Amino acid sequence: MSPNHDPTAHRPWRQIQRRKSRQVRVGSVLVGGDAPISVQTMTNTSTADAKATIEQIRRAEEAGADIVRVSCPDEESTAALVEIVRAAQVPIVADIHFHYRRAIEAAKAGAACLRINPGNIGSAERVREVVQAAKDHGCSMRIGVNAGSLERELLERYGEPCPEALVESALTHAKILEDHDFREFKISVKASDVFLAVAAYQGLAEACDYPLHIGITEAGGLRAGTVKSSIGLGMLLWSGIGDTIRVSLSADPVEEVKVGYEMLKSLGLRRRGVTVISCPSCARQQFDVIKTVEVLEERLAHITTPLTVSVIGCVVNGPGEATMTDIGFTGGGKGTHQVYLGGVPAHRLKDEAIVDHLVKLVEEKAAAIRAGQ
């Protein structure tokens, strides 16, 4: 399957029908409608430390983040936001809890979006002021409902956090913004429980057409959080739900971005960089597959052009996989391996310099794709 062909054209089982949602703007990034599903992450530096925050944003951008969120818990944070927004290439979302003044400051500082729940701001006058600031400064908003911080009234009525309670909370916040004639917002209904989060998003997707920011909150560390997020977000994305994603990991934000992209790439919803198809290796391997793939992925991390490479230990699956990738590599006997280009056997390669050779081929292919060849 060359990435230059539509992989769903003759394969209906690959098609995902995305839910039809309104489109909103987060700075230069469109969210919802037919816009590509964007990948977000969040900084974990002190926002008041603009230098450290900008550095972390830069690394997230290099990993492919489309949008980055920063917390604004105090005035020092919103003061630093001006410099942060100016330095960032991606739109910045300001995460606000309760403090309506922080929201107004963040809007003035150039935040592209405010993550704030209008029901938590306080008086109608304060809501009006925040909405006005958002309108004046071209900010969108995200209503972010979280199972861990549901309104007490809902908890009492429903007994515990449940999908219906999350959806009701989201729609109540939405109604407040609608009453202020503001519809430039997306919604999330996150929970750390994967069943709860998925059911809540399914309910919300039915109940409104606002774009949805999907995520499994507090999913855990890199491995457990990736698995949990992939199950929950995979289920939603596969059924067409989700316009922007954030994978919440107790890990470097760069890992969140990488995992988010891998998820979208697995479902054919985004394409970015090199997708390596490799076998787990076994006694039949004719070269060290695991080590080769480990080094190769690192050496190819800078390439953003979408293309596929197969690295397979022996002829059992190598030639077959090679027919579906741009560049194929299959281990052969006596230290002589086979390289495929466009699915066709191209030349043989000795044991030496496998990685160097493959990197060179990938870079050449990426340049050719960029040049439209």
Which parts of this chain interact with ligand SF4 (CB under 6 A)? 279-282, 284-285, 312-314, 316-317
* Rounded Cα gap, residues 310 and 328, in angstroms: 5
Compare residues 235 and 290 and give the one whose CB is closer to ligand SF4: 290
Compare residues 303 and 316 and give the one whose CB is closer to ligand SF4: 316
**Is position 321 annotated in a ligand binding site?**
yes
**Is position 139 annotated in a ligand binding site?**
no
**Is position 314 annotated in a ligand binding site?**
yes
345 pairs with which residues across the strands?
340
**Is position 279 annotated in a ligand binding site?**
yes
Compare residues 40 and 281 and give the one whose CB is closer to ligand SF4: 281
Q: How far is the CB of 284 from ligand SF4 (least distance, A)?
A: 4
Compare residues 314 and 339 and give the one whose CB is closer to ligand SF4: 314
Please identify the residue of the shown chain whose CB is closest to the bound ligand SF4: 313
Q: How far is the CB of 293 from ligand SF4 (least distance, A)?
A: 11
Compare residues 122 and 335 and give the one whose CB is closer to ligand SF4: 335
Q: How far is the CB of 312 from ligand SF4 (least distance, A)?
A: 5
Q: How far is the CB of 322 from ligand SF4 (least distance, A)?
A: 11
Q: How far is the CB of 196 from ligand SF4 (least distance, A)?
A: 38
Compare residues 192 and 281 and give the one whose CB is closer to ligand SF4: 281
Q: How far is the CB of 275 from ligand SF4 (least distance, A)?
A: 17
Binding residues for [4Fe-4S] cluster: 279, 282, 314, 321
